[in-house]
Amino acid sequence: MKFVDYVTISVKSGDGGAGALSFRRAKYEPKGGPDGGDGGRGGSVMLKGDSHLYTLLDLRYNRHHFAKNGGRGEGANKSGKDGDDIVLRVPLGTVARHSETGELVGEIVNEDDVVMLATGGRGGKGNTFFKSSTNRAPRHAQPGEPGEELDLTLELKLMADVGLVGFPNAGKSTLVSSLSAAKPKIADYPFTTLEPSLGVVSVGAYESFVMADIPGIIEGAHEGKGLGIRFLKHIERNAVLLMLVPVTSEDPAAEFMTLRNEMKAFNPELAGKPYLVAASKTDLLPAGDVEAFVRDLREAVPEGVDILPISAVARTGLDALKTRLWREVQAGRAKASGAAS
């Protein structure tokens, strides 16, 4: 299935039905009182979170969503039928904004979160509503309120615990496939990964976390170079970042600093996220050369930030990496839970 993370849609809620102007008529009651029912409410259009979805593909080919109008009120105090609501199911991490102004409408973070896009118009009151001691036979009823119509931009930012950051061909996809059941495309050339992919990493018998593999970052990515800002946004929601620098890098310290600078230039908040560093593809060098590589990389990596040598192909260092990532994920979840309460 094609990954789609940006769409524009048009939505319109239904108009409210008009209230009825009616009087009761019976064989022995030629001048019965008012009995006009209220109009029905127009249908609304809303988003709802669905954890089983991971793309906005369905909405790319179905961009117009118009809810039904409410039914008209009738005599005998019969209310009009409410218009059916339209519920658009979207992946977790979807953000809705007004297309013209960019104003935030809402975002979907959790399963079954609901964001109202366009509220249906209220139905008009029938003339029964206006009956009073001084007006026994009201001869007016309300029209229904019009619905809302607007254009919206929906943008998906992947919800994952761990985000992988690295240059093209740093070994991110291989790592995801080694730690999870995900099967991203893997080959020995730049930009093999053309769209994000998610993998669920099991920890013990009952725990797990989600890892996101995004296309490689190059210098100038925050300006749109390479696959650029289209995918940098996907690491904004990650609890912890794992920065991969392969041992094949000619200047590991410079590569690390480029990655950090690109993230900071795209969004300064990314620089404050917890992160670890992995020296990947260690199977390609002798043990002594790997140690020298880590020393060179340490020149740029701050003290207190772990550098873990790993090989996803030889499956060395993966248990230690998973343990450290799980510790950071737990800390992030505890922090988020505390902030929510």
Q: Which two tokens stand for residue 192?
A: 């093999």
Q: What gap in Å lies between CA 94 and CA 301, rounded to an integer?
A: 33
Give the range among 84-93, 212-221, 280-289 with minimum mean pLDDT.
212-221
Q: Which residues of 26-47 are buried (b: 16+ CB within 10 A; e: fewer)?
A: eeeeeeeebbbbbbbbbbbbbb
Where along the chain do its domains lie?
A: 1-156, 162-340
Mean pLDDT of 38-49: 96
Three-state SS at 45: strand
Angle at CA 75, nearest 5°, toward 74 and 76? 120
Instruction: Band the pLDDT of 228: cuts 50, 70, 90.
Output: very low
Fold assignment, 162-340 = Rossmann fold (3.40.50)
Amino acid, single-letter form, for residue 44: S
Q: In angstroms, what CA-CA distances link 156 with 8, 91, 235, 289, 318?
A: 12, 7, 11, 41, 30
Q: What gap in Å lies between CA 198 and CA 156, rounded to an integer?
A: 14
Token look-up 């009956």 returns 131
Residue-level pLDDT at 51:
83
Q: In angstroms, what CA-CA distances link 219 with 53, 227, 261, 266?
A: 32, 11, 9, 12
Q: What gap in Å lies between CA 181 and CA 39, rounded to an integer?
A: 54
**pLDDT tens for each residue of 169-226:** 777 778 888 887 544 443 344 434 445 667 778 887 778 888 877 765 544 433 444 4
**pLDDT tens for each residue of 110-122:** 888 999 999 999 9
Q: What gap in Å lies between CA 170 and CA 277, rounded to an integer?
A: 12
- Long-range CB contact pairs, 227-234, < 8 A, 24+: 227/191, 227/194, 229/266, 230/5, 230/6, 231/196, 232/262, 232/263, 232/266, 232/267, 233/155, 233/157, 233/266, 234/5, 234/157, 234/158, 234/160, 234/163, 234/196
DSSP 181-211: S------SSTT---S-EEEEEEETTTEEEEE
Mean pLDDT of 283-300: 90
**Structure letter (DSSP) for residue 171:** S
Among 333, 277, 334, which Cα is nearest to 304's?
Answer: 277
Q: Decide if 105 contacts 117 (C-beta within 8 A).
A: yes
Beta bridge partners of 15: none
Q: Is 288 exposed, middle or buried (0-12, 13-18, 19+ CB in 10 A)?
A: exposed
Q: What gap in Å lies between CA 165 and CA 84, rounded to an integer?
A: 44
Fold assignment, 1-156 = Spo0b-associated Gtp-binding Protein; Chain: A, (2.70.210)
Instruction: Band the pLDDT of 84: cuts 50, 70, 90.
Output: very high
Token look-up 């979807």 returns 94
* CB atoms closer than 10 angstroms to residue 214: 24
